């Protein structure tokens, strides 16, 4: 798989996720619990936080700085902290961060040479440390689709 297919997987997953939230009210996005203790807004905040953290790592790599680990705590703790930080924000602010972060991340990946992958170790495929970016939106898609069915918005 090459870089363009990698990026297309990210774009396609985002289109599916955007389709799933399209037409939902701010109340539905921000108030109803859809997965565990998370609202749709929390899911979007979670995705935005990971996009932003990944973008920072890629920018460090572009500057030949030490990348280090992406996060310094357990994934669950980090996720909870990032979601909590965004709970006080209006839905529209979270949506903006979610969309802008994705665009910024795609732009950074687009700048990266075809023959290498930011953060390595290998190609633009399952061996890449960033492969999860091609699947992360999809991991949360089902919860939102299930919620929409539950409220009769299919």
Q: If we measure between CA atoms, which residue out of 124, 119, 100 comes closest to residue 8? A: 124
How much is the pLDDT for 120?
72
How much is the pLDDT for 77?
95
Q: Is pLDDT above 80 for 70?
A: no
Quick one: average pLDDT of 9-34? 94
Q: Is pLDDT above 90 for 117?
A: no
The whole model's pTM is what?
Answer: 0.93
Quick one: average pLDDT of 40-62? 94
How much is the pLDDT for 65?
85
Distance CA 32, CA 39 (A): 6
The neighbour count for residue 150, using CB atoms within 10 Å, is: 11
Q: Is pLDDT above 80 for 97?
A: yes
In whole numbers, what is the pLDDT of the chain averaged over residues?
A: 91
CA distances to 27, 91, 123 from 88, in Å: 14, 9, 39
Quick one: average pLDDT of 31-47? 93
Alpha helix (H) residue ranges in 1-154: 3-21, 26-30, 40-62, 75-87, 91-111, 136-150
Quick one: average pLDDT of 59-75? 85
Q: Is pLDDT above 90 for 56?
A: yes
């Amino acid at each position: 798989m090459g870089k363009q297919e990698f990026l297309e997987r990210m774009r396609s997953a985002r289109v599916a996720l955007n389709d799933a939230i399209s037409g939902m009210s701010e109340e539905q996005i921000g108030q109803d619990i859809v997965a565990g203790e998370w609202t749709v807004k929390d899911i979007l905040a979670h995705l935005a936080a990971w996009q932003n953290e990944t973008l920072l790592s890629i920018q460090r790599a572009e500057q030949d700085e030490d990348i280090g680990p992406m996060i310094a705590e357990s994934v669950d703790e980090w996720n909870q902290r990032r979601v909590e930080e965004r709970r006080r924000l209006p839905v529209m602010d979270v949506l903006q961060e979610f969309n802008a972060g994705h665009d910024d991340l795609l732009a950074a990946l687009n700048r990266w040479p075809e023959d290498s992958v930011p953060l390595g170790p290998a190609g633009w495929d399952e061996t890449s440390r960033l492969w999860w970016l091609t699947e992360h939106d999809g991991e949360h898609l089902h919860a939102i689709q299930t919620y929409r069915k539950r409220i009769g918005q299919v």
